[in-house]
Structure 1
Amino acid sequence: MKTIVIASQKGGSSKTTLVAHLAVAAEQNNISPTVLIDMDPQSSLSSWWNVRENNMPALAVSNLKDLPEKIKALKEAGVKLLIIDTPPAITDAIYEVVKLADLVIVPTRPSPHDLRAIGSTIDIIQKVKCSFIFIITQAKPNTRLTIQTIATLSEHGTVSPIIIHDRVDYASSMIDGKTVMETDKKGKSSQEIEKLLSFVLARFQNKMKNKKKEIL
């Protein structure tokens, strides 16, 4: 089982939207079962799941204290992928959750405020020594600010080449407990998520290859 944690100090960076969309995309690509855990007190992910007609991906409940045991139990139960949503703040709780991740995804909007806020998130990830990637969200097509954001983030770590653009269908699909893949499978947003999932999964494969090289 692989565990992905979505973390960002800045609210409104599309954390919950990314969690839901990556999880549904994983299920649609036979990475099943995929399970979600909502560690955000705002419970936006749980609210989305509760109005969802499809019960996959599954939602597991856990508090911070029991999270290591919950992850162990899910792994033993044969879960293939676990994605954890976190609060939009830097706390000791975030540190404890990040410690349990195989990969941390840091969604970042192309804005000066978001860029100034990523420092604390990076500090925690580097302290834990966990693999991480940046994903640019809510981007406007072909803007200088997006290009500048990519350049700035690249100084700190790997930036996903797949950019999540600012489209209404991401939010509108979430209102009904769905995702863009379920409302418009052939749309541009669906294609973005499919490509993003492939990129994320490739990060795990690269990590495994590097470990094998180290053993040799």
Structure 2
Amino acid sequence: MQIIVINSQKGGSGKTMLCKHLAVEAERSGDGPVFVIDTDPQGTLTAWHSKREAETPARVDLPFNGMEKGLELIRTHGAAYCIIDTASGRLDIASELFKLADLVIFPVQPSEDDLTAAPVTVQNLKACGVPFVFVLTRVKPNTLITAQAAAILSKHGQVAETLIADRTGYKSPYAKGQTSTEAEPKGAAAQEIAGLWRNIKSCLHENMQESEALKKHG
């Protein structure tokens, strides 16, 4: 099982949106079973999941102080991926989750405020030694700020090739707790999320290869 934590200390970056869409996409593309965990006290992911009629992805409640044991239990149940949604402004809790992660997804909006806030989380991620990837979210296509943001972030770490556009569909409440990609499987959002999931799997694969190489030479 591979553990993905989605975190940004800046609110409104799209953490929960990415969590639910990537979890659904992983199941849709045959990469499940996928479990999701909501560690945000606001419970937005939990509220969405409670409306779903689809059985996948599964959601599990784990107390923070029992997270590590709980993840091991999920692993024994044959989970392929566990995706953890997090709160903004709780870097102490996020740091503990980083230590459990195989990869951290760091969503960033291409704005001055988001770019100014990013280095605090980056420093923490590097201190924890966890692999991470930036995902640009709520992007306005073909704008200078998007290109500038990608260039600035690339100095700190890897930036996902797929950009997530500012689409109403990502925010819309669909019937039966569907994601926009389920409601419109041939739409632009579905193509974006599918592309991003491929990017994420590629990052995880590269990290595994690097880890195995280090073990051989260690």
Instruction: Give the TM-score normalised by the residue count of structure 2.
Output: 0.96
1:93 aligns with 2:60: no
For the structure 1 residues 25 and 166, does the alpha-carbon distance in structure 2 shift closer, same or farther, using more than 3 Å as the test?
same
Partner residue, 1:186:
186
Give the C-alpha shift of residue 176 in structure 1: 5.2
Gaps of 5+ in 1: none
- Tell me which amino acid in the other structure corresponds to 1:61: D
Partner residue, 1:25:
25
What is the aligned residue count?
A: 216
1:48-103 CA deviation, whole Å, 9 max, x = no partner?
10111112100000121000001111111111000000001133111111111000
Runs of 4+ in 1 over 4 A off after TM superposition: 173-176
- Tell me which amino acid in the other structure corresponds to 1:102: D
How large is the RMSD of aligned CA atoms in angstroms?
1.2
1:8 aligns with 2:15: no
For the structure 1 residues 211 and 91, does the alpha-carbon distance in structure 2 shift closer, same or farther, using more than 3 Å as the test?
closer
- Tell me which amino acid in the other structure corresponds to 2:59: L
Q: Where in structure 2 are the equivalents of 1:61-80 lying within 5 Å? A: 61-80=61-80
Instruction: Give the TM-score normalised by the residue count of structure 1.
Output: 0.96
Q: Secondary structure at the match of 1:105?
A: strand
Give the C-alpha shift of residue 175 in structure 1: 7.3
Partner residue, 2:137:
137
Contact map agreement 1:108 1:115 (CA 8 A) in 2: yes
Partner residue, 1:154:
154
Partner residue, 1:166:
166
User: Aligned partners of 2:90 and 2:174: how far apart in 1?
Assistant: 25
Contact map agreement 2:174 2:183 (CA 8 A) in 1: no
Contact map agreement 1:48 1:174 (CA 8 A) in 2: no
User: Aligned partners of 2:108 and 2:177: how far apart in 1?
Assistant: 23
